[in-house]
Amino acid sequence: MLEYVLFHPTPVELFKTFLSNLNITAKINEDNSVFMILIPDNMNAETSDKVETYYDELMAMNKELFFAENDATSDNYQMATIMVTLGNGKISSAHVRPELINQILDTISEDEMHEFVAAIAKAVENPDERSYCQKVRAGDVDFSDEG
């Protein structure tokens, strides 16, 4: 499943309609005004590009709606959120400066970012001080999962 995050109901509804028009079934979870949109990852490249392009437009709309609905005060601030799925299925959020996320996503794909974050979450949940070579020699590395 691919995960998309939005923070305002208007772009969520637009995204839901857009996906429906592409015959893509979406599951939407809301938690404290954070909308997690889950869609199947078996799209062809053309459809995937359309979804990514439209999602980028909706993220810009998200930002505009936030600032339009909130007066500028010292309480207003921006933070990008990375959703991390833990081993027990719970979702946690990591807040990072938007500029940093933009720099990262200018270099790697969103899928690569998810893979990187998942690897860190797994390492934090299952500490193992052995080196990678030691893990390979012990047979604890499954090369079929390696990218």
Res 21: pLDDT: 94
Q: What is the pTM of this model?
A: 0.49
Q: Is 82 in contact with 94 (CB distance < 8 Å)?
A: yes
The pLDDT of residue 68 is 62
Residue 26 lies in a domain: yes
Residues of the chain short of pLDDT 50, as ranges, are 72, 147
Domain with 127, as residue range(s), is: 98-147
* CA nearest neighbour of 84 among 59, 109, 121: 121
Q: Report the CATH number that the domain containing residue 49 is assigned in CATH.
A: 3.30.70.120
CA distance 1 to 4: 10
> Taking the CA atoms of the chain, what radius of gyration do you get in angstroms?
18
Does residue 102 sit in the same domain as residue 72? no
Residue 109 counted as domain residue: yes
Same domain, residue pair 71 and 114: no
Residues in Cβ contact with 63 at an 8 Å cutoff, skipping those fewer than 6 apart: 78
Residue 83 in any domain: the answer is no
Per-residue confidence (pLDDT) for residue 74, from 0 to 100: 52
